[in-house]
C-alpha cells in the first residue's frame, strides 16, 4: 500500500481515536487534535506541484476477480481537488475550534468524526481510479454530509435538511452506479483511465449503451452538485453549523459533481448530447440560483443560492469546453472553469465564515435585523468587502478574472460551427450577462444590508462586537488568497491550472495559460460595465422588484414538488404496508410463496428450463420408500393434530427423518447440522411449552382453504419440477453443470476439499459476510433494547 493510499485512509483512522481524545482530554478542544491531520496532508500534497508528469495508477487488489481494486490515480485534476479538500479542511477545522464551544452538552466527538469521515470520503472520490471504489466513497460523502447537517438534531429543520440531502444525493448516486455498470459492460474495466483509453482507441463499441450511461452518470453529478432541478437540497442543508457549510457546501462536496463531469469529459466530450445537456442545465442553474438569491433574507440562504448559481456557471463552462475536442476555440471555457473552481473556494469559503461570525457575534443572520456593523466589526467588514467584491466580479480580485474568462467562453461558444450552436448559441452570453447582473445585486444586498445603514441593537440577540482572532484567522487567510490570486493569477497557471486542464483534455493541443487583467476595451469589459450599471439600478429599485409574487417567497417553488412527492410516497407506502402487514403469519407465507411460484414459473418459461429425464434415474431402495412414506405421512398429519406436545414431536420426527435422508445420500455435514438444529428446536419448544398461549381453533371460510390448497400444491409442484429439471440437465451435454465447477476448483482456488465449506466460506464469502453482518445488527438491537429496559406500552 502506497503513501497515497494511506493519505485517503488517514482521516478514517484518525476518526477512530476522536472519541477517546474527547473523553480523556475534556479540557482541550477536540478540534486541536484534528487540525494536525489536514495540515500534514496538505503539506504532503504540495510536494507534487507542479504536476508535470502523470504517474500510473497505484493498485491494491480488493476484489480482483471482478476488476474491483483500490486504485489511486494522482494527476492535475485530482491533485487540485485534493489540495482544496485538505487546505480548506484545515482552515475549517481551525475556524470550528472557536465557532463551536467546548461545552458538556456539545457532542464535539460526533462532529469531528463526521467531518473526518467526509474528508476521507472526498479524498477517496477524487483520488480513486476504480468506478466501484469511487461509488463507495461517493455515497460516504452523502452519509457524512447528512450526519453533519443533522448535527444539531434537536432542530426539526436540521433533520429535514439532512433527510432531503440524503434522499436526493443518494438517489443520484444509485443512477450513477448504474451508469458505471453500463460503462463496464462496454469496456470490460472499472478503471477510469482504462475506460478513457478504450474509447480513445476503439471506434467500435456498444453505442446503444453509451448515451444511457452518460445520462445516468450526469444524474449523479447533477444531484451532488445541486444543478437545477435537484438544487433544492442545498438551501435546507444550511441548517448545518457554519463550518460545515463553508467546507461541504461551498468548497468540496458540491464540487464532487463538477469533478465527475470533468473526469468523464475525455470519455463523453465531443458529442452534442454531452455539450447541450451540461451547458443547458448549467446556464439554467446559473440564472435560477442568482435570481433566487435576491429573494432571501437569511445571509446563509443568500450564499446557498449563490453557491447554486456559481456551480451552474462552472458546469456550463465544462459543457462549452467539452467542444475543445473538435474546436480549439472552446478551450478557454475549460481554463475559466478550473480557475473559477479555485476562486470560488476562496471567496465563498471566506464569506460563509464571515456569515458565521456575524451570526456568532450578533445572534442573527436576518438582514432585516442587521445593519451598521461596519464600524463595530471592522475586520469582519474588510474580509467581507474582499469576498463580496470577488464574488461580484470586480477588479482587482480573482473573481473578476475568472468572470471575464467566463464571458470570453460564452462569447467564443457563439462562434462554434458544431452541434447546431449557430441556432441557439446567441442565448449563452445573454443568460450569462443577466445572471451576472443578479449576482451583482445579491452581492450588494449582502454588503449594504449587513454593514451599512442604521445599527439596530434592539433587534439583535447579542450585543454586537468584533470576533476574536481565532474566528477571524481562517477567513483572513482565504481573503488574502483572493487578493493574491487576483494580483498574481499566474502563480496558479503552470502549477495547478495547466495540469488540471491536461487531465480534462488529455488528447487536446498543448495548453498555455496566461491570465492578466487588462485586455483592452473589449466586449467582455463592456459586459462587466453593463453588469455594474444595470445591477446598481436594480438594487436601487429593489423594493419594486420584491413586490412581485415570486420574490415574496423565500422557499424555492420546486420544494412543493419534493414535499408533495414525499407525502405521496408515504401515503402509497402506508397503503402497500397495510395490505402486506396484516399481522397474520399465513398471509406472509402466502405472499412469499406466490412470489416464488411466479418468479420460478417465469424463469422456466423465459429460459425454456423445463426438462424431464426418466432414463438416467437410479433405483430406489426399499428402505428409502419406507423413510419417504413415513416422512410424507408425518408431514400431512401435522395440520390435523389437536395437541401441542404431539405436534412438537411430529415436527421433530420430520426433521430427524430429513437428517436420515442426508445420511443416506452421503451428506454428513448437512445431516449433522439438521440433527443439531432439530434437537435444539425440539428442546426450545418443550422449554417454552408452559408459557405458550392457549391454543385456539380458528375457523376459515372455504374460499380461504381453497386458496391455501392451490398455493401449497403450486409450490410443491414447482419444487418437483425444479428437481426433475435439475436432474435432466445434469445429464444433458448442452448444459454446464455448476457442481462440476466446484469439484474442479475447490482445491485450486480455495484450498479446501470440503466443497460445502468452500462454497460457504470462499465462493459465497460476501454473502456469508452480509449474513453475519445482519446477525450482528440484530444482536446490537437486542442489546440496545435490553439496556433501554423498554416497558410494556412505552413509545420506544
pLDDT tens, 603-612? 888 888 888 8
In terms of domains, do 311 and 400 share one? yes
Other Cβ atoms closer than 10 A to 775: 10
| Residue ranges making up the domain that contains 773 | 737-796
Residue 554 is predicted with a pLDDT of 63
Are residues 721 and 786 both part of a single domain? no
Residue 3 lies in a domain: no
Residue 91 in any domain: the answer is: no
In the predicted structure, residue 652 carries a pLDDT above the cut 90: no
- As a whole number of angstroms, the distance between CA 118 and CA 222 comes to 19
597 and 729 both lie in a single domain: yes
Q: Say if residue 725 is in the same domain as residue 750.
A: no
What CATH number corresponds to the domain at position 702?
A: 1.20.120
pLDDT value of residue 796: 44
Rounded CA gap, 433 and 443, in Å? 15
Considering the domain boundaries, does residue 89 fall inside one? Answer: no
**Which of 736, 770, 785 is at the close of a domain?**
736
DSSP 397: S
Judgement on whether residues 466 and 497 belong to the same structural domain of the protein: yes
Q: Does residue 462 share a domain with residue 599?
A: no
Residue 516 lies in a domain: yes
- Pair 461, 594 in one domain: no
Confidence of residue 741 (pLDDT cuts 50, 70, 90): confident
Regarding whether 729 and 622 lie in a shared domain, the answer is: yes
Number of domains in the chain: 3
Q: What is the pLDDT of residues 229-254, one digit of tens each?
A: 999 999 999 988 999 999 987 778 89
**What does the pLDDT read at residue 649?**
85
Q: Residue 630 to residues 644, 677, 726: CA-CA distances in angstroms?
A: 20, 20, 25
Does pLDDT of 96 surpass 90?
Answer: yes
Q: Are 756 and 678 in a shared domain?
A: no
In a domain, 564, yes or no: no
Q: Are 295 and 438 in contact (CB under 8 A)?
A: no
Strand partners of residue 71: 59
**Residue 386 sits in the same domain as residue 371:** yes
Q: Where is the domain boundary, 736, 761, 781?
A: 736
Q: Is residue 756 part of a domain?
A: yes
Identify whether 55 is part of a domain. Answer: no
Q: Are residue 338 and residue 379 in the same domain, yes or no?
A: yes
- Per-residue pLDDT tens digits for 332-375: 999 999 999 999 999 999 999 999 999 999 989 999 999 999 99
Do 732 and 742 share a domain, yes or no? Answer: no
Tell me the whole-structure pTM to 2 decimals: 0.83
Separation in Å, CA 427 to CA 152, 179, 271, 287, 413: 44, 31, 20, 12, 10
- Whether residue 176 has pLDDT greater than 80: yes
Domain final residue pick, 526, 547, 568: 547
- Flag whether pLDDT at 257 surpasses 60: yes
Q: Which residues of 163-183 are buried (b: 16+ CB within 10 A; e: fewer)?
A: bbbbbbbbebbebbbbbbbbb
Task: Give the integer Cα–Cα distance in Å for 422 and 416.
Answer: 7
In a domain, 1, yes or no: no
Amino acid at each position: 500500500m502506497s503513501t497515497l493510499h494511506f493519505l485517503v485512509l488517514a482521516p478514517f483512522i484518525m476518526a477512530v481515536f476522536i472519541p477517546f481524545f474527547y473523553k480523556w482530554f475534556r479540557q482541550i478542544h477536540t478540534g486541536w487534535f484534528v487540525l494536525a491531520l489536514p495540515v500534514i496532508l496538505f503539506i504532503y500534497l504540495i510536494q507534487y506541484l507542479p504536476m508535470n508528469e502523470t504517474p500510473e495508477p497505484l493498485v491494491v487488489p480488493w476484489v480482483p476477480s471482478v476488476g474491483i481494486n483500490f486504485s489511486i490515480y494522482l494527476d492535475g485534476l485530482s491533485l487540485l481537488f485534493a489540495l482544496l479538500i485538505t487546505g480548506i479542511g484545515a482552515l475549517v477545522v481551525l475556524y470550528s475550534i472557536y465557532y463551536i464551544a467546548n461545552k458538556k452538552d456539545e457532542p464535539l466527538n460526533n462532529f469531528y468524526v463526521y467531518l473526518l469521515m467526509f474528508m476521507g470520503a472526498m479524498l477517496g472520490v477524487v483520488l480513486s481510479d476504480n468506478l466501484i471504489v469511487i461509488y463507495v466513497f461517493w455515497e460516504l460523502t452523502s452519509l457524512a454530509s447528512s450526519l453533519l447537517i443533522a448535527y444539531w438534531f434537536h432542530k426539526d429543520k436540521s433533520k429535514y435538511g439532512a433527510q432531503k440531502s440524503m434522499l436526493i444525493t443518494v438517489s443520484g448516486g444509485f443512477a450513477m452506479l448504474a451508469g458505471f455498470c453500463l460503462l463496464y459492460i462496454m469496456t470490460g474495466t472499472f478503471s477510469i483511465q482504462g475506460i478513457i483509453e478504450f474509447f480513445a482507441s476503439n471506434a467500435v463499441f456498444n453505442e446503444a449503451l453509451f448515451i444511457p450511461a452518460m445520462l445516468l452518470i450526469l444524474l449523479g453529478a447533477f444531484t451532488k452538485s445541486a444543478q437545477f432541478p435537484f438544487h433544492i437540497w442545498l438551501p435546507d442543508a444550511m441548517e448545518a453549523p457554519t463550518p460545515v457549510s463553508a467546507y461541504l457546501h461551498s468548497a468540496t462536496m458540491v464540487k464532487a459533481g463538477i469533478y465527475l463531469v470533468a473526469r468523464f469529459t475525455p470519455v463523453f466530450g465531443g458529442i452534442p448530447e454531452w455539450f447541450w445537456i451540461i451547458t443547458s442545465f448549467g446556464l439554467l442553474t446559473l440564472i435560477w440560483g442568482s435570481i433566487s438569491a435576491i429573494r432571501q433574507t437569511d445571509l446563509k440562504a443568500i450564499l446557498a443560492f449563490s453557491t447554486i448559481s456559481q456551480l451552474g456557471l462552472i458546469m456550463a463552462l465544462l459543457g462549452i469546453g467539452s467542444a475543445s475536442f473538435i474546436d480549439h476555440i472552446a478551450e478557454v471555457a475549460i481554463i475559466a472553469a478550473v480557475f473559477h473552481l479555485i476562486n470560488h473556494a476562496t471567496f465563498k469559503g471566506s464569506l460563509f465564515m464571515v456569515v458565521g461570525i456575524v451570526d456568532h457575534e450578533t445572534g442573527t443572520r436576518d438582514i432585516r435585523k442587521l445593519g451598521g456593523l461596519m464600524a463595530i466589526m471592522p475586520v469582519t467588514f474588510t474580509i467581507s468587502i474582499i469576498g463580496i467584491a470577488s464574488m461580484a466580479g470586480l477588479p482587482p480580485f480573482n473573481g473578476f478574472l475568472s468572470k471575464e474568462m467566463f464571458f470570453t467562453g460564452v462569447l467564443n461558444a457563439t462562434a462554434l460551427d458544431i452541434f447546431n450552436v449557430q441556432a441557439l448559441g446567441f442565448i449563452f452570453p445573454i443568460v450569462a450577462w443577466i445572471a451576472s447582473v443578479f449576482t451583482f445585486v445579491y452581492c450588494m444586498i449582502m454588503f449594504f444590508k449587513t454593514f451599512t445603514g442604521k445599527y439596530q441593537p434592539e433587534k439583535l440577540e447579542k450585543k454586537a462586537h468584533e470576533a476574536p482572532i481565532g474566528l477571524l484567522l481562517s477567513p483572513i487567510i482565504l481573503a488574502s488568497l483572493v487578493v493574491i490570486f487576483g494580483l498574481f493569477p499566474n502563480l496558479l497557471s503552470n502549477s495547478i491550472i495547466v495540469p488540471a486542464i491536461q487531465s480534462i483534455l488529455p488528447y487536446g493541443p498543448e495548453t498555455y495559460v496566461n491570465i492578466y487583467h487588462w485586455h483592452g476595451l473589449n466586449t467582455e469589459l463592456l459586459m462587466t460595465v453593463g453588469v455594474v450599471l444595470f445591477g446598481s439600478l436594480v438594487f436601487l429599485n429593489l423594493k419594486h422588484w420584491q413586490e412581485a409574487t415570486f420574490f415574496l417567497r423565500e422557499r424555492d417553488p420546486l420544494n412543493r414538488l419534493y414535499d408533495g412527492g414525499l407525502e405521496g410516497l408515504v401515503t402509497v407506502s402506508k397503503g402497500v404496508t397495510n395490505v402486506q402487514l396484516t399481522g397474520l403469519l399465513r398471509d406472509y407465507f402466502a405472499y412469499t410463496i406466490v412470489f416464488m411460484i411466479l418468479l420460478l414459473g417465469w424463469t422456466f418459461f423465459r429460459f425454456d428450463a423445463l426438462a424431464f429425464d426418466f432414463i438416467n434415474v437410479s433405483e430406489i431402495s426399499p428402505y428409502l420408500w419406507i423413510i419417504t412414506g413415513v416422512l410424507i405421512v408425518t408431514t400431512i398429519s401435522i395440520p390435523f393434530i389437536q395437541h401441542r406436545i404431539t405436534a412438537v414431536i411430529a415436527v421433530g420426527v420430520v426433521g430427524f427423518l430429513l437428517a436420515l435422508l442426508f445420511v443416506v445420500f452421503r451428506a454428513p455435514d448437512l445431516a449433522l447440522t439438521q440433527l443439531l438444529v432439530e434437537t435444539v428446536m425440539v428442546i426450545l419448544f418443550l422449554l417454552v411449552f408452559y408459557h405458550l398461549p392457549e391454543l385456539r381453533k380458528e375457523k376459515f371460510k372455504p374460499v380461504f382453504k381453497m386458496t391455501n390448497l392451490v398455493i401449497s400444491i403450486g409450490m410443491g409442484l414447482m419444487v418437483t419440477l425444479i428437481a426433475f429439471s435439475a436432474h435432466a440437465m445434469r445429464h444433458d451435454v448442452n448444459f454446464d453443470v455448476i457442481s462440476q465447477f466446484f469439484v474442479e476448483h475447490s482445491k485450486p482456488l480455495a484450498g479446501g476439499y470440503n466443497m460445502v465449506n468452500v462454497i460457504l466460506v470462499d465462493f459465497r464469502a460476501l454473502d456469508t459476510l452480509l449474513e453475519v453482518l445482519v446477525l450482528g445488527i440484530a444482536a446490537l438491537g437486542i442489546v440496545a433494547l435490553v439496556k433501554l429496559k423498554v416497558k410494556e406500552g412505552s413509545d420506544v
